[in-house]
Amino acid sequence: MPGLSEKYNSMYKELLTLCKNNLPSVNEELLFNAFKLSYEAHKNEFRDSGEPYFHHPYEVAKIITELMPIDDTTVICALLHDVVEDADVSVNIIKKEFGERIAEIIEGLTKISGVFTGYEITQAENYRKMLLSMVRDIRVIIVKFADRLHNMRTLEFVKPTKQLRIAKETMEIYAPFANRFGLAAVKWELEDLAFRFMNREIFDEIARKLADTRKDREAYIKKFIKPILEHLKMYGITDYEITGRPKHIYSIYRKMIRQNKPFEEIFDLFAVRIILEKDDSKMCYTVLGVINELYKANQERFKDYINIPKKNNYKSIHNTVYGPDGRLVEVQIRTRKMHEIAEKGVAAHWKYKEDISWADKELEDWVNRIREVFDTSTKDEASKELLDSFQLNLYADEIYVFTPKGDLKRLPLGSTPVDFAFEIHSDVGYHCLGAKVDGKIVPLDIKLKSGDQVEIISSKNQHPNKSWLKFVKTHKAKSHIRRYLNKEEERLLKDGKDIWDKKIKKLKQIISDEEFVKIIRKNKFDNARQFYIAIAQDRINIDELLTRPRTEEAEVSEIQFDDFAKIARTTAGDVLVDGEFKGIAYDFAKCCKPIPGDPIIGYITIGEGIKIHRKDCINLINMIKKGNEKIVPVQWPRRNGSLFVSAIKIKGKDRPGVLKDLSNSIASYKDTNIKAINISAEQSIFEGTIAIYVTDIEHLNRVIERLKKHKDIFFVERYTSQNE
């Protein structure tokens, strides 16, 4: 290939051949470009072993094709998995050259690279879930398995302290994770390699004993298999593979510990596997019958994983029998298809159409989508379509973050440093002043991500506030914050009431309940609770409030209205009764206090002449309903150019120049004249009354509508006694 030396050209051809033999299809152009970019990015780098660094991504790509052959995209990502982190290649360059999907996978691999470095693995299951929560494409995990496997194969070249850390991480995170994905071959090799560096003495001892007994075991297995071969032929079963199955060193060690037995007494050092080429599970049971016909079975050790598969869809029959000389031998029976899935796990699901059912509910949706694609596509199309469209959403509603000491905390998606603080301890949450994420100070409402290391900055003077409830996510944080705020509110309520009572007593004042309610409303509080809390928070000047005349406002209001009414009526002249000035005695009803311009009607009383009511007066309407017909038409006198005085009650936002703007707004309508203004302001709010000259009710209503459109006005209406 152009641009490559003979050595690397040969390496590329070997990889291409593996891809063509094991993958549904290969984009040779992209594969070569990835090979070349990886080589160029790493050509000046060397591993601890002294070999060129490029050999690592190359070997990872080969592992993918041999142990986990999914698609060419995964192989390309294996070649490129370190170029962003270790070389001067950006994700944008990857996207431009290889497409968005490959760029996303490379970005995912970069994100989880070294995520456990520096941490003591104490919560392995949460660590595995954290990995899943950080990625959205299953191929990220597959490449990571292959990457870890090659690193373990070459671990002998790194420092002993690093060896132990990586080995422990592999044993507790990646090997069990590979098992969950059904990658048995990967799991076993990772376990043996990790065990070698975690407990070299015992590893070497078991390895030596296996080597010492190898010839004897092989001779015994050959003797055990011979009659089986003859009987299978009698039953017409000829297309199969039968081999002695080597036991993995770590599994032998675990069995020695679990059963508390020495190496020599572990029963299944003798193991045989029979793989049937035909995809027929019934034939597996036929072979089982043949074995049990030849050798006595140990029923206590029989397991039928074909009838009841494991959670990772592992299927096989495990049958333990007494062989020659009474020695126990484990026989595994499975089809080639079952063997592929047992060895290659997830990768094998793209190779076979089958109805998969796992007990793990979190994986059910994923499996259903695989089946759906298989039902509508050919094998090759299914592989590509599924992998390009499927997003790994397991544990996507959770995040996993580290404490500074390396402990892992699980939180719901969208959680903040405050949620994290309460997850550590309620006292930490109560006094949370700030936070550092990966060493950088961040706002308390920032949303955390899986893999973040979070450090809480606390202060004894810091306490929760209501704004925290707007962004915290966890029930624990919300309940603790509400509990604190409620407790704090009760304390403020008590303190505020004590301050108020002491001040009243000191000033020797007596305030009735009615006066107290007026004080609360005057200061714009809904109830006494809010009022007392405001006092405790020093938001009210009690001295000023208590030295102000308390009845002033009510008295002024009544005086103002009576003055307005008197002036208006005097200006208008006498009312007309039946259209004439009859000189009949009349007075204005105190219940509705009509003023000129109001629709009015007269009600004949005994001894008090005619009472003038507004037509919408409730008292008048009730009297009419009772059948009282003592009413007489009355009206205000109509004189050309005559004006009435009316009043407007108004409330709004106080600011410099607001009175001038209101005056201009009123005066600009038909040259309306203002008679008087009585407005007061407190706490950025003004309210009061404005008396104006109007020709009639319509004139007054137009002025009111103009004021309502003013941006600083909250409330405006005609002023009558009913406003009080």
Residue 514 corresponds to which amino acid? E
Residue 103 corresponds to which amino acid? A
Q: Which residues pair with 600 in a beta bridge?
A: 614
Residue 658 corresponds to which amino acid? V
Q: Which residues pair with 348 in a beta bridge?
A: none
What are the tokens at 590?
A: 């105190």
- Say how far apart CA 387 and CA 352 lie, in whole Å: 15
In 636-645, which positions are buried (b, 16+ CB within 10 angstroms) versus exposed (e)? beeeeeebbb
> DSSP class of residue 580?
B
Nearest to 263, CA basis, from 250, 252, 248: 252
- Say how far apart CA 553 and CA 560 lie, in whole Å: 10
Indicate if 212 belongs to the active site.
no
- Say how far apart CA 98 and CA 101 lie, in whole Å: 8
Residue 704 Cα to chain centre, angstroms? 50
Residue 170 Cα to chain centre, angstroms? 29
Catalytic: which of 40, 66, 86, 407? 86
Backbone phi, psi, residue 96, to 5°: -65, -40
Catalytic: which of 85, 100, 293, 388? 85
Residue 93 corresponds to which amino acid? I
Nearest to 541, CA basis, from 696, 682, 336: 682
Q: Which residues pair with 76 in a beta bridge?
A: none
- Say how far apart CA 130 and CA 111 lie, in whole Å: 12
- Say how far apart CA 87 and CA 41 lie, in whole Å: 6
Query: Starting from the edge strand earliest in sequence, which strands make up the sheet with 631-632, in order?
Result: 586-588, 610-614, 600-604, 631-632
**Which helix (H) or strand (E) element contains residue 261?**
none
Contact 404, 455 (CB under 8 A): yes
Cβ-proximal residues to 297 (8 Å cutoff; 6+ apart), any chain: 291, 319, 320, 321
> DSSP class of residue 453?
B
Cβ-proximal residues to 359 (8 Å cutoff; 6+ apart), any chain: 311
> DSSP class of residue 611?
E
**Which helix (H) or strand (E) element contains residue 578?**
none
Contact 320, 112 (CB under 8 A): no
Work out whether strand 610-614 and strand 586-588 pair parallel, antiparallel, or are unpaired: parallel
Q: Is 160 helix (H, G, I), strand (E, B) or coil?
A: helix
> DSSP class of residue 174?
I
- For residue 15, with 0-12 CB atoms within 10 Å meaning exposed, 13-18 middle and 19 or more buried, which class applies? buried
Indicate if 86 belongs to the active site.
yes
- Say how far apart CA 669 and CA 192 lie, in whole Å: 94
Query: Which residue numbers are catalytic?
Result: 85-86
